[in-house]
Chains A and B, each alone.
Chain A
């Protein structure tokens, strides 16, 4: 029974073992790493990457992928600052508009994917280009501004028994918890796994797989809009290219976290581990004064090594 448990959760266990080893080695190599300030900083950084990676987990679980996620991040960031322009009374309506627009993009992605059967890679790649083009028509340079209250989103803190917890981390934890509940406990979550595991079986079991996919891509875009809004708050200004790196960065933690690109296997639990491996790795390399290019190399190697580990044990 116990060995069954280990076997069933082995992918997630591996992620957290890697994470533990990473934390251990980094704290041995640098004494700043375990400092309160650095930790606070890490938790603050986790949110933007965290949202998109959680969203991406849904699409990959359903045997798809969302490459438009990065351009939706940029769009959300640029529109938020560009439309608010420092006016406090516009904050709420603009956020509703931005999130609504993101949901619409996800809806279109999901509808095209499920109606035509074209591979999600192609549909969302096209959508990425469409959205990115639209943003660059709107502005070519960082633009807009946000009122002071908006800073709270990225820079605020919540005091819990005299411990300062960054607000973005709380928001991230909240979103992660909802995502886990959604995937593991609801019928919809089960449908995502079934659709990704074997779409035809799912359909013949009475599951409306097209609807499942539409919702999955809406979740993806929604998560991207959260990241975009968070980045707008962090920088106080919307950047039309800020989301570019998230197209690939959102996928990396999902794969490190043991979710299979072929769908149906994995989950947000693993992705959370992946997110922290990703940001701690770059944090550690930063503190050790390793240049960004070496960081890229290191991150690439982590992806290849961890994913090949999963494949090996699958056999």
Chain B
């Protein structure tokens, strides 16, 4: 086995409310592909960001070729040959491919002018080494995602990186593009580069990686050689628990009172004839890949976006003109997917966020009833176990899991008859996830209809009473969770298979 080019020893890192990494060891040797696997929130990205200099560890050592380093910035890590390619690329859309590759390090002529011929020549040779053909004069904005990824890799190489980290590269490319990514990774490996490949997709790991380090809840489970192990073992290490234990069980009642129905809801190029019903007391899971139109269905139900055609009926009444205000009045709650951007007003306190959608009820004439509001805030914080020094704390100081509870509390305050949750557990730690599941089931048992959008298949299968699968703006079919397998859902979500849809019933 080759020399360890990187050694990370006993790395710990905590964020407010979460211990993201707990004494994790990680080694990588020259000319190998190392995978880091684990569920969302296992600490993969945090570990890599520490190596890349974006975070500083609370504890632990980083050794490069046996020498101890501590990086204060990504730039310092880059100087020592460490590059990272994030899921969101760091490219300037309006600059060309070659300009992006050498951004900030442009070859210059005298007087500070950019030496364009030289720039293009050097970019060209980098891309040739990678075996990639991209027109260097194109703006990055005009490239596809896969090509942008190649540009990022070329940029890393231009920095003379020995260690290239890729954070969930397969989240943005798939199929043929993924194959060519793998081809490039193999080329890099032959040239002696070390690749650290972060993913939660097992198949890829066995295809490309030599070794895999499994993380779970911020702890190192084990590092194994992919040739000595199999998929099932890795999955067991990742999950580390019996799936059914984590979920609070299925719906108890069997009553079928229709709360909401969508008929041929259509938005140009985004939603195609989406029809389904939701019943009180059930959790309806909507599965699908990113971009399948799941969030758009949620926004349509909530009245956040206008429809081109189709109709939505709530409690037997047709909704004429949807708007968030009317939806809230009629009891629809919407926990949005992107907590950081459209979940909370970060500059407002916990209390003020909790009552933002029900101020009409808390005010008397025009004045907000302070005492009433504080009471609601305190009750909510207690009910949902929101951990904060005070309900007057601004929500931006709360941990992700607690922010999520504030969002949920805000929507439960409207006494929803329907609650739409878009990726309710994304990015929160495992403990908070469990609490979230219990809360959701409790609400459903209380009669609320819950629509849960999720990309995590085991969550969809574990939580839902019925599962709808979407692909490309369409409902591909409905599956009962007892018959559902992750593979089966994925076949529909990727559009390779169609289940029984409403129309065929």
Q: Which residues of A line the B interface, CB within 8 A? A: 1, 4, 8, 185-188, 190-191, 193-194, 196-198, 200-208, 264-265
25 CB contacts below 8 A, A to B, read A1-B389, A185-B367, A185-B370, A186-B367, A187-B366, A188-B366, A190-B352, A190-B359, A191-B359, A193-B345, A194-B348, A194-B352, A196-B347, A197-B348, A201-B342, A201-B343, A202-B345, A203-B304, A204-B304, A204-B336, A205-B324, A205-B328, A207-B325, A264-B348, A265-B347
Interface positions of B from 287 to 339, Cβ below 8 Å from A: 302, 304, 324-325, 327-329, 334, 336
Q: Which residues of A contact B389 (CB under 8 A)?
A: 1, 4
Contacts of B56 in A (CB 8 A): none
Check if B360 is an interface residue, CB within 8 A of chain A.
Answer: yes
Q: B392 → chain A, closest Cβ, in Å?
A: 7
Given contacts A201-B342, A205-B328, 17 further A-B contacts (CB under 8 A): A1-B389, A185-B370, A187-B363, A190-B356, A193-B352, A197-B345, A198-B342, A198-B344, A198-B346, A202-B356, A204-B334, A204-B342, A205-B357, A206-B324, A207-B325, A207-B356, A264-B347
**B72 → A minimal CB distance (Å):** 16
B419 to chain A, nearest CB (A): 14
Which residues on the B side are within 8 Å of A265 (C-beta)?
347
**Neighbouring B residues of A193 by C-beta, 8 Å:** 345, 347-348, 352
Q: Which residue of A lies closest to B368 (CB)?
A: A187
User: Which of A4, A206, A208 has the most C-beta atoms of chain B within 10 angstroms of its own C-beta?
Assistant: A206
Q: Which of B325, B345, B352, B390 contacts A4 (CB 8 A)?
A: B390
CB 8 Å contact bits of B460-499 with A (1 = contact, 0 = none): 0000000000000000000000000000000000000000
List the B residue with the shortest CB-CB distance to A208. Answer: B325
Residue of A nearest to B304 (CB): A204
Q: How far is the CB of B408 from chain A (nearest CB, A)?
A: 14
> Hey, which chain A residues are within 8 Å of B328, CB to CB?
205-206
Q: Which residues of A contact B370 (CB under 8 A)?
A: 185
Interface size on B, residues (CB 8 A): 34
**A198 CB, nearest partner CB in chain B, Å:** 5
Residue in B302, B327, B348, B392 whose Cβ sees the most chain A Cβ within 10 Å = B348
The interface residues of chain A lying within 8 Å CB-to-CB of B410 are 205
Q: Which residue of B lies closest to A8 (CB)?
A: B392
**Which residues does chain B contribute within 8 Å of A197, judged by CB atoms?**
345-348
Instruction: Give the top 4 A-B pairs by smallest Cβ distance, nearest first.
Output: A197-B345, A206-B328, A264-B347, A206-B325
On chain B, the residues within 8 Å of A190 by CB distance are 352, 356, 359, 368
Cβ-based interface call for B147 (8 A): no
Contact among B324, B352, B393 with A203 in the assembled complex (CB-CB below 8 Å):
B324
B113 within 8 Å of A by Cβ?
no
Q: Which residue of A lies closest to B327 (CB)?
A: A206
